[in-house]
Amino acid sequence: MQALVMFQNNKPVIAIDGTAGSGKGTLAKKLAKVLKFDHLDSGLLYRILAYKFLKLNKDLKMLREIDIDLKIFLEKKKIEKMRLRSPEITKISSEIAKIKFVRQKLISLQRKFANYPPKGNGSVIDGRDITSVITPNAEIKFYIDADVKIRAERRLSQLELSKKDYDKILKELIQRDFRDKRRKISPLILTKDSYFIDTGKISESEVLIKAINYIKKKQILFSDCI
């Protein structure tokens, strides 16, 4: 790493927002690897809590008693990946995200991760309202999107489902977009200072190149490996 302009407690933050299935997580992981930054999938935090909530028979009182800590993020290794991405968990995670005490705790956790990344270099955080609410002062912001039909095809492949499930997945994504963009608390928005990338017709590598070129143009981060 040659030169850095620091922010957020002297630690650089890259925030990635966008629609479901657009490729936020893929870009975040690749950027984190290239820059040697820590990566946090904020949506996964909600999914893990949704999984726990389901195991607690949807007992809200019990959910309050869960010690919400960054350690829960590590538990993803113990939970089957496909289970966390299932329609049931997706629906429950959207619902618990509306619960005030849950959002407050997870927002605090995400900001703590941004300010004090484990490796100490910097962080790449992806998820809903990252650019607008969680880290509004991040100097590198991306908004990722793609046509909903393309996103449905990707989700079908990700979940290893058959083509007969396409219409169901498409409907779920359309409904998810509607909920995310119209919810009262932290709706999904494209902030004025976010760099927009349409991932619909370009490869993962091309998306990464676009992101890196933008970072270079902003002259915020420089690395020997990009």
34, with CB counted inside 10 A (0-12, 13-18, 19+), is: middle
> d(Cα 168, Cα 180) in Å, to the nearest integer?
18
Rounded-to-integer distance, Cα 132 and Cα 151, Å: 23
**DSSP 8-class letter at 159:** T
**Residue 81, both tokens:** 């990946």
Pairing of strands 123-126, 221-222: unpaired
Q: Which domains does the chain have, with CATH numbers?
A: 3-222 (3.40.50.300)
Query: Cα–Cα distance between 78 and 74 in angstroms, integer?
Result: 8
Eight-state DSSP code of residue 68: -
Tell me the C-alpha distance between 141 and 163, whole Å: 34
Q: Which residues pair with 197 in a beta bridge?
A: 144
Which one, of 217, 211, 177, lies nearest residue 197 by Cα? Answer: 211
* Secondary structure (3-state) at 141: strand
In this prediction, residue 2 carries a pLDDT of 38
* Per-residue model confidence (pLDDT) at position 7: 45
Pairing state of beta strands 195-198 and 221-222?
unpaired
CB atoms within 10 A of CB 215: 23
At 114, the amino acid letter reads: A
Six token digits for residue 39? 């990566």
Tens-digit pLDDT string for the chain (226 aa):
334 344 445 688 999 999 999 999 999 999 999 999 999 999 888 888 888 888 877 776 667 766 666 555 555 556 666 678 787 888 888 888 878 888 888 898 899 999 899 888 899 999 988 999 999 999 899 999 999 999 999 988 887 788 889 999 999 999 989 988 988 878 899 999 999 999 999 999 999 999 999 999 886 554 444 5
3-state SS assignment for residue 48:
helix
| Alpha-carbon 85 to chain mean position | 13
**Residue 23 per-residue DSSP state:** S
User: What is this structure's pTM?
Assistant: 0.85
